[in-house]
Structures are given as C-alpha cells and as structure tokens.
C-alpha cells in the first residue's frame, strides 16, 4: 500500500467490485452470443467454455470480497450502470463482431484494471492478474478471426473499425468510472496522479497492448 492507504483500501474494494461485475456480465454476454451468434456447434461450445471461465473468475472475486468483510453486491452496485451501458452500446451484430468484442473490447478494459492493480498490494495484483488471464480466449478468437479474414479480406476494414469503437467506448467508460469513484481513479493514476508524464506513460502502455491485440488478429489499429 502507499501512504494513501485508507483511500487505496476503498480503491481496492472498488477495483474488486468493478472487476466482479465486469466478469459476471462478460459471462452473461458471452453465453448469449454463443447461443445466438455462433455459426457452428463447435463455436458455440468454444465460446461457452470462455464464458464459463469468466464465471469462475467472478466467483473468485466474489469470495475475495466476502473474505474482506465486504458485501459483493454492494461492492458491484456502483458500476452496474456504466458497464451495462457499455454492453448496450457495443452489442455485436454478428459472430465476428462478437469475437472482436470478446478479445479487444474486454482486453482494453482489463488493461485499465491491471494498471490500477499495479498500485495495490501484491496479493491484489496477483489476484487481478489471475482473473484477467485470457490465454484460452486469445487462442480461440485469434484463430477464428484470422481464418475469417483470410477467407474474406473485406472483413478486415469493418472489424478494424469495430475494434476502434470498442476502445473508444471503453475509454469513455473508464472516464465515467473515474468520475464517480475517485478512489479507483487515484489507484489508476498512482502517487503521481498529477504527473502528466506518468499519465502519458500510462496511455502509451494501453496503446501498446491494444496494438498487440490488433496485430494478433491481423487488423490495423487505425481501422
């Protein structure tokens, strides 16, 4: 913890609360997309496996909050409107958009949470890293999207634009959360929260991670 231990204590609860609700809604949305958009039974099963993993992460976070003496529902409640709004604004129209959302949209949001966790104690950092692990999702999505683009190169431009929208909406969501939960914002900025150079480095890291995901999919960040 830093000198701002009391603020960061509240910030840690906020971080676990927002992550818990993000994982719960990810489970629900992925399961919905698997049922409605998957073109084959194998695809439906694969995305359902990813959804099940997200629910497992939710349970880990819920149990951690309970172990801290925090009501998980109360910890998640402040973030319901913002996360629900993000999902409403980024509802995929087809299978490929659903895959890009699962990888790029969820990925950029996870990067924000990892950045906030950098300023928490080690046990919290390790927990956040655990629940944001996305190896299975990455392999599944990258394989499917690259194959689709190879089969129909025209998909590339549309999916790149969709990915840009994911990032824009995620950034807007982050701003909304920071406005309503200053303790969480303080964790994200760290002790040098007013240091423009540090903020610049933060966004450079986020941009770099986004660029890596886009490259993995065979898409260009600029759309």
Q: Which residues of the chain carry a pLDDT beneath 50? A: 1-8, 223
The verdict on residue 158 lying in a domain is yes
The verdict on residue 94 lying in a domain is yes
Residues of the domain holding 50:
5-217
Distance from chain centroid for Cα 161: 18
The verdict on residue 154 lying in a domain is yes
The verdict on residue 175 lying in a domain is yes
- Report the pLDDT value the prediction gives residue 17, as an integer from 0 to 100: 95
The verdict on residue 223 lying in a domain is no
Residue pair 147/154 in contact (Cβ under 8 Å)? The answer is no
- Report the pLDDT value the prediction gives residue 21, as an integer from 0 to 100: 96
Residue pair 141/159 in contact (Cβ under 8 Å)? The answer is no
The verdict on residue 194 lying in a domain is yes
The verdict on residue 222 lying in a domain is no
In the chain, the percentage of residues whose pLDDT exceeds 90 is 53
The verdict on residue 136 lying in a domain is yes
How many independent structural domains does the chain possess? 1
- Report the pLDDT value the prediction gives residue 196, as an integer from 0 to 100: 55
Which CATH number belongs to the domain containing residue 163 in this structure?
1.20.1260.10
**Could you tell me the two tokens for 91?**
């509802």
Q: pLDDT digits over 54-83, tens only?
A: 999 999 999 999 999 999 999 999 999 989
């Amino acid at each position: 913890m830093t000198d701002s231990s009391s603020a960061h204590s509240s910030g840690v609860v906020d971080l676990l609360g927002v992550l818990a609700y993000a994982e719960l809604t990810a489970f629900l949305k992925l399961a919905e997309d698997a049922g409605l958009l998957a073109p084959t039974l194998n695809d439906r099963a694969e995305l359902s496996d990813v959804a099940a993993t997200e629910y497992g992460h939710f349970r880990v976070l819920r149990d951690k909050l309970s172990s801290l003496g925090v009501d998980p529902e109360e910890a998640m409640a402040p973030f319901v409107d913002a996360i629900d709004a993000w999902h409403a604004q980024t509802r995929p129209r087809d299978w490929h958009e659903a895959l890009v959302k699962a990888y790029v949209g969820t990925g950029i949001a996870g990067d924000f949470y990892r950045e906030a966790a950098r300023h928490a104690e080690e046990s919290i950092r390790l927990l956040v890293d655990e629940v944001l692990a996305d190896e299975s999702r990455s392999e599944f999505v990258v394989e499917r999207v690259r194959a689709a683009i190879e089969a129909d190169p025209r998909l590339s431009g549309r999916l790149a634009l969709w990915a840009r929208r994911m990032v824009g909406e995620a950034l807007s969501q982050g701003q909304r959360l920071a406005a309503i939960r200053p303790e969480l914002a303080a964790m994200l900025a760290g002790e040098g929260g007013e240091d423009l150079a540090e903020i610049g480095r933060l966004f450079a890291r986020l941009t770099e991670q986004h660029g890596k995901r886009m490259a993995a999919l065979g898409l260009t960040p600029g759309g």
